Structure 1
């Protein structure tokens, strides 16, 4: 009935992918979204909230919520610039540094799994097509 419906098919796919990603990041006590914010900060210590928002294409208010949650879990810390309060930087804590490699390995394992299940070429094309479509919309 909904074979040609982009809304139905993208949401059905998103639910399946969310389940796989939720299961992968569950051992860290993190949602996939929180894990991606953490991975960005681990990769770019001192990054600004605006840069996180741009990197992950998330609303600033969403980034604030995620960062606050990760601060409460002792994964991140905020460091304010005394001269400019807008210059707040986000840094990883020791706790997040300890799991950095495991988080990256989890991301690599998810990528490898998708290549295996979907096929390397088909997976690459799917991601490319999704990015292109997202930018066009």
Structure 2
């Protein structure tokens, strides 16, 4: 192993980005049956679990910026998966019938994604890595 490769192996930034690219590829392939990117599917799952979220709440739940959530909501509204409803000063987001109907497909895609990487890593390792990455995200985000 070269000195540079050894440095990369020991670098959280490099390793996390490499893992992110791999997981993104797996997720894109597994969520293909929905016709949506995984990020859009996760937004729909969130609204399904918490109907009537505000955009701010949605952004916080998904750990994305408000401008990104606006872009996602705009696209999903065009595809007739969500609708915005004004309630006083707040704008709340709800699923349409079409958004409700795609939920089972989304859940199955999510299960398939887990199954895919758990088969490669082993279920225990998959759970431990997920737990460790979540801990790192939460800890680093506090700084």
Q: TM-score, normalised by structure 2?
A: 0.88
Corresponding residue for residue 117 of structure 1: 120
Which residue of 3, 10, 28 corresponds with 1:4? 10
The equivalences for 1:14-33 within 5 A come to 14-33=20-39
Question: Which structure 2 residues correspond to residues 65-84 of structure 1 after superposition, within 5 A?
Answer: 65-81=71-87, 83-84=88-89
Question: What displacement does 1:76 show?
Answer: 0.5
Structure 1 runs not aligned, ≥5 long: none
CA separation in 1, counterparts of 2:112 and 2:30? 9
Could you list the per-position Cα deviations for residues 68-92 of structure 1 after superposition, in whole angstroms to 9, with x for gaps in the alignment? Answer: 11001111100001x32xx111011
Q: Distance in 2 between matches of 1:23 and 1:4?
A: 29
Deviation readout 1:26-54 (Å, 9 max, x if unpaired): 22221111110011112222111111111
Cα RMSD over matched residues? Answer: 1.2
Q: Which runs of 4+ in 1 moved over 3 A?
A: none
How many aligned residue pairs are there? 134
Q: Structure 1 length normalisation: TM-score?
A: 0.91
Contact 2:31 2:110 in 1 (8 A): no
